[in-house]
Structure 1
Amino acid sequence: MNDSTTTTSTATTSAAIQCAPVQSWSDRRAFLKLERELYKGDPNWVTPLWSERKQLCGFGSHPFYNDADSRAFLARKNGRVVGRVVAIVNHAHNRHHNEQRGFFGFFECIDDADVSRGLFDAAADWLREQGMTDVRGPVNPSLNYEVGLLVDGFDTPPTFLIPYNHAYYGDLIEACGFEKCQDVFCYDATIDQLATVDPKLKFVIEESTRRFKVTCRPIDRSRFDEDVQAFLRIYNESLQRTWGYVPMSHEELVHQSKQLKLLIVPELTSIAEIDGEPVGAGFGLLDFNQLLIKMNGHLLPFGWLKLWLGKRKIDRLRLVSTNVLPKYQSWGLGLVTLARILPDAIEFGIRTGEFSWVLESNRLSRGTIERGGAKKMKTQRIYDRKL
């Protein structure tokens, strides 16, 4: 649950700077408003979906917080809001990894080291009170959602659900004692590149299909809920040994499936089956940021209609994940699953595909993507710090 009862102490770094917990409705409004103010005039910033942002920050009902606590902080300098951060205790993570690790997310700040230091000191104090010994971030609010700080690739807007931030944030975070833990990459490939795949990869696709008698199909509109649940189940099981991963709860899976139902284009998905059983799933998500950048972050009253009617104008696809059940992961079924999407993506009008996020430590995926001709375009960094 979202913690609203623990300490309300204020961390003060100077007479002019105060960092205090978010408590009131006006505090929450200021917390969200700061993001808009800091990126005013930045052509590469895309307004978030404010309704979803409120939930993920812990200001509304979200199933992630059924098994997590959080405390949001605001920094004020001479009475003006100039920074924010959320400290998070993800109990599911700590049980799964046998750790006492806290997290931080939703960090925004003016270019002032005293302000950022005050924010992270306040967050660290609260996390220590919860028994945490380390802190990792940024995650918004976990690795299953938005993750990492942009440290390379500031010249273009992010794709849908990829974080964006000012270039100076890395210096502020590192000045507070954080060190790089892991990078995650975004790769770009044109459809023309994907259509002329390396012959070795083509052989893997053909051989894997033959060996396992794999059939691939898009998500079926007539059993949409069932197929989305199958995709999310495969997603959970396939990532069990991935760095930092924590399975989504059943409530999170249900919530995500409802969200995805509004956004998924079935032709840009793929479910791989062996003897009728789903064993792999590929998920391409349209870059709705191409539309959202003009919508100011509000889906009501006509936002959803604009997304729905405008989706055919989108020419960029984010390949969010290609997941295969563990016992099939060394046999190229991920490539088989992905190959099914390609002709439909071309017909839809997609010109560019982005593979994201790809963990720095996932050498197999990185090698396959790079062999296919994709280029690394953006780097998001995850930091660690001892408390």
Structure 2
Amino acid sequence: MDISQVLPGDRAAIRRFIEFAFRLYKGQELWVPPLVGDLRSYLTRKHPFFDHSDAAFFLAWRDGKVVGRIAAIENRAYNGHHGTNTAFFGFFECIDDEAVASGLLDAASVWARERGLSSILGPKGFVRSAGTGLLVEGFDQFPALGIAWNFPYYDRLLTKAGFTKTADYLSGWLDRSARGDERLYRVAEIARKRGNFAIRAFDSRRELQAVLPAVKRIQHEAFADNPNYVPSTDAEFDLMAKTLIFVADLSIVRFIEKDGEIAGFMNAYPNLGRGFQKARGRLWPLGWLYILLERSRSLTLDLNGIGILPRYQKQGGDAILFTELEQRIRASRYEKVDFIQVNEDNFLSKSGIEHFKVAWAKRHRVYRRDILDATSDIIK
């Protein structure tokens, strides 16, 4: 087995890196491919992530065939914000072979060690909006958009390579017929009356786009202490905002205002996974149409976080957004909501969600390992 680094100008290697996952998951009905163009922007270093940080990409080969891939990531914005000295690994895909997995993970560790980093954790994405962790429970469940579905053997590959759990993230289903705890509605009603809170809806995507700078500010203030938080540059946020504008269902999207100030938001959008599957990761020639059609007919809503300014978090703002969500769902076509990746140790978020009797169905795990004393000879 050999490990090779994928260089930005090597179009053949970039193609093999991208295509490997399509070959590995061929016939798997629950795997949702990423957009090829998005993945290529990282491999060619054209993504704004590279304005402040660095990454390397590796392929594992056996008998002339690609049998695995990985990205090693140095997110300087993350390390600077949290005061850490860690690397991430991402885009990890591998055949069921412990030697191949260890070779890839060692290659990522070597790259990180050469940059003075002391540990490596993952799977993690390059930006905050990317999904986190390996799926370790819920292999029969359809994934939320951008969240990993992988083979069950991945957990064993990482464990055998010396990685240990650092965090688990739970996702669960809310059926449209469910009704939350009555206490939540009382809290929401009191907050509306006493706190001068108001719900804001949007009539157009242009109107939503105009308030997105407030989302960036709220994210930073609300999630800055979250161990999974990664600060975004303006360019990174603009890319994320374009996606948010495209996938948003304006009948569901709601912000909360306090005395005329935007105080919080609810990030919910249709699950477009079936459209991505039909598009096979490509927008052209018809991929964009498949995705657009799925936006209008998906019966599943992905809820990827509720953000409230810290000074309003204990004043009932979150209760207002949760109860508003339930009302919107009842008035919509959606049959269920996927609450995405809540840290199992985030008791505040979990308790709010559990008022709706959400059934936790999927678990994603982030792993960590100290950097090994490996040598660069592993990379050919």
- If the length of structure 1 is used for normalisation, what is the TM-score? 0.91
Q: Tell me if 1:339 matches 2:311.
A: no
Whole-angstrom distance in 2 between the partners of 1:211 and 1:189: 29
Q: What CA distance in whole angstroms lies between the structure 2 residues aligned with 1:180 and 1:341?
A: 33
SS in 2 for 1:120: helix
Question: What is the aligned length?
Answer: 368
Which of the numbers 199, 205, 227 marks the counterpart of 1:216?
Answer: 199
Is residue 19 of structure 2 the alignment partner of residue 33 of structure 1? yes
Aligned position for 2:155: 170
The Cα offsets for residues 167-200 of structure 1, whole Å up to 9 and x where unpaired, read as 101111111111000000101110111xx22111
Taking structure 2 as the reference length, what is the TM-score of the superposition?
0.93
Distance 1:263 1:202 in 2: 29
CA distance in 2: counterparts of 1:54 and 1:346, whole angstroms: 39
| 1:94-109 correspondence to structure 2 within 5 Å | 94-109=79-94
User: Residue in 2 aligned with 1:352?
Assistant: 336
Mapped contact 1:188–1:376 kept (Cα < 8 A): yes
Q: How does 1:138-217 map to 2 (within 5 A)?
A: 138-193=123-178, 196-217=179-200
Determine the C-alpha separation between the residues in 2 that align with 1:192 and 1:232. 33
Paired with 2:326 and 2:46, the residues of 1 have a C-alpha distance of 37
Which runs of structure 1 show a deviation greater than 4 angstroms over 4 or more consecutive aligned residues?
A: none
- Cα pair 1:217 1:340 within 8 Å, conserved: no
- Change in 2 beyond 3 A, CA 1:378/1:370: same
In the alignment, structure 1 residue 257 sits paired with structure 2 residue 241: yes
Kindly provide the amino acid, as one letter, of the partner of residue 386 in structure 1: D
**What is the CA deviation profile of residues 213-272 of structure 1, one whole-angstrom value per residue up to 9, with x for unaligned ones?**
110022342523212222232122210121231221222111211222221122211110
Take 1:163 and 1:110, find their aligned partners in 2: how far apart are those partners? 16
Are 1:227 and 2:211 counterparts? yes
Alpha-carbon distance between aligned partners in 1 of 2:201 and 2:216, rounded to the nearest angstrom? 15
Pairwise CA RMSD: 1.5
CA contact under 8 A between 1:268 and 1:283: conserved in structure 2?
no
Aligned 8 A contact 1:58 1:65 in 2: no
Q: In the TM superposition, what is the alpha-carbon distance from 1:308 to its structure 2 partner?
A: 2.5
CA offset digits 1:135-193 (Å, max 9, x no partner)? 11001224441211000000122121111111101111111111000000101110111
Contact residue 130 and residue 147 of structure 2 kept, 8 A: no
Partner residue in 2 for 1:316: 300
Match of 2:95 in 1: 110
User: In structure 1, how many angstroms separate the alpha carbons of the residues matched to 2:330 and 2:293?
Assistant: 19
Q: SS in structure 1 opposite 2:352?
A: helix
Tell me which amino acid in the other structure corresponds to 1:128.
R
Q: 2: CA distance between counterparts of 1:79 and 1:303?
A: 31
Task: State how 1:294-309 maps to structure 2 within 5 Å.
Answer: 294-309=278-293
1:51 aligns with 2:51: no
Q: Whole-Å Cα distance in 2 between the matches of residues 144 and 288 of structure 1?
A: 16
Report the CA distance between 1:60 and its aligned residue.
4.7
